Amino acid sequence: MRATTVRALRLADTAEAADLAAFLGRLIRYDRAAAVRLQAGGGAVAVFGRPPAFEVLAIRTARLRDAGAAEGQVEGPVELDVTVSAGELLEAIDELTGGIGLPAAVTGPPWTGVLPPRGGWQRVPGLPGPAGLRQAVAAAVTEFRTRDEALPAAHRDRAERDRIGRDIWSRTVGGTGLPLRAVHAAQSVGFLRPMPEDAPVALLKAGAWMRLRTPYGSIAVRTGGTGGIGGLSVTPT
């Protein structure tokens, strides 16, 4: 990753800061030791996280006010690529000013070295609207709970629940090829919260990657057996 002397960022407004803080809070709910990778450039910053229960990447972008430079930093376009603690980054966000003091870099987990491509994305047709996606997740959660409750007591263990989880969350959404676990992840990190039915929600594909994009963020997942499902959550949220 590129070394940087940038010590702070300034987001475009306080709403951006609050949304980013909420996103980081949701990641930490799944993993108190979570790390995130930040890439900044072109007037925006992208924050990549990996909620461990879903084996996807969650991506939240925010606009930068100007250069986002810190005290003592020369004004100019920010170019930043660094991995930091999600918890420390959350603590560094000033929601009143939109400022973020960057924590010290950390050695990230393996996923931080494998990010989706920046270009070459093509739209995939057939994605339901926001309400349809939320309904699909709700139906899957109901099915999981029903099948779990129907298990004999002697078989209600982690292995059997994992099997049910793999069966349900590896299904695809319609004919799109998007694993249902990606939609579940989008809802769990707040990317499918209530929005107009005509909101710009889209499914994109580039190589082995698919990306569910909503106005609040994106979920990226590797398909074709490259992403694995061994870490699927057995407890719907």
Q: pTM, whole model, 2 decimals?
A: 0.87
Strand 44-49 vs strand 35-41: parallel, antiparallel, or unpaired? antiparallel
Nearest to 24 by CA among 45, 56, 50: 50
List the domain range (segments joined by +) for residue 216.
122-222
Query: Is the per-residue pLDDT at 233 higher than 90?
Result: no
Q: Which pLDDT belongs to residue 76?
A: 53
DSSP summary character for residue 218: E
With a pLDDT cut of 90, the percent of the chain lying above it is: 73
Report the alpha-carbon distance of residue 3 to residue 139 in Å, rounded.
46
Indicate if 19 and 107 belong to the same structural domain: yes
Domain boundary among 78, 113, 148: 113
More confident of the two residues 42 and 99: 99
18-27, 53-62, 190-199 — which is least confidently predicted?
Answer: 190-199
Number of domains, the chain: 2
Domain boundary among 113, 146, 166: 113
Q: Which value, in Å, is the radius of gyration of the alpha carbons in the chain?
A: 19
Query: Is the per-residue pLDDT at 232 higher than 50?
Result: no
Q: Which pLDDT belongs to residue 49?
A: 98
* 235 part of a folded domain: no
Q: What is the DSSP annotation of 58-124?
A: EEEEEEBSSS---TTPPPS---EEEEEEHHHHHHHEETTTTEEEPPPP----GGGG----SS--EE-
Report the alpha-carbon distance of residue 33 to residue 90 in Å, rounded.
12
* 228 part of a folded domain: no
Q: 237 falls in which pLDDT band (50, 70, 90)?
A: very low
Q: 78 falls in which pLDDT band (50, 70, 90)?
A: low
Indicate if 190 and 146 belong to the same structural domain: yes
Q: How far from the centroid of its chain's Cα atoms is residue 199's Cα?
A: 19
Dihedral sign (CA 64, 29, 95, 201): positive
Under DSSP, is residue 129 helix (H, G, I), strand (E, B) or coil? coil
Report the alpha-carbon distance of residue 68 to residue 44 in Å, rounded.
9
Q: Are the beta carbons of 177 and 222 closer than 8 angstroms?
A: no
Domain boundary among 63, 86, 113: 113
Q: Dihedral angle at the C-alpha atoms of 138, 141, 24, 205, nearest 10 degrees?
A: -70
Report the alpha-carbon distance of residue 72 to residue 218 in Å, rounded.
34
Query: Is the per-residue pLDDT at 4 higher than 60?
Result: no
End-to-end CA distance of the chain: 34
Indicate if 41 and 69 belong to the same structural domain: yes
